[in-house]
Amino acid sequence: MKKLKLEVAGLSDAGIVKEINQDSFVYKVVDTGEYYAGIFAIADGVGGLEKGELASAVAVSNLNKWWEHEFKNHYQDQPYLVRSLITMLKTANLEIIRMGQTEGIKMATTMSILFIHMDQAIIIHVGDSRIYKVTGLFSPKIRQLTQDHSVFINREINGRTVRKSVLTDCLGNKEEFKYFSSMEPVSKNEIYFLCSDGIYKTMEDKDILTVIRGSKNDCLQICRSLMDKVKHNGETDNISIITVRVTE
Does 230 score more than 80 pLDDT?
Answer: yes
Which CATH number applies to 5-247? 3.60.40.10
Cβ atoms 202, 235 nearer than 8 A: yes
Mean pLDDT for all residues in the chain: 93
pLDDT band with cut points at 50, 70 and 90 for residue 166: confident
Please report, for the chain, the start and end positions of each structural domain, with discontinuous segments joined by +: 5-247
End-to-end CA distance of the chain: 10
d(CA 82, CA 108): 23
pLDDT value, residue 217? 86
**Which three-class secondary structure state does DSSP give residue 50?**
coil
Tens digit of each residue's pLDDT (9 = 90 or more) over 77-132: 999 999 999 999 999 999 999 999 998 999 999 999 999 999 999 999 999 999 99
pLDDT value, residue 50? 81
Residue 30, beta-bridge partner list:
37
Burial of 137 (0-12, 13-18, 19+ CB in 10 A): exposed
pLDDT value, residue 159? 67
Whole-structure pTM value: 0.94
**Which three-class secondary structure state does DSSP give residue 40?**
strand
pLDDT band with cut points at 50, 70 and 90 for residue 1: low
Window from 54-58, 89-93, 141-145, 235-239 with minimum mean pLDDT? 235-239
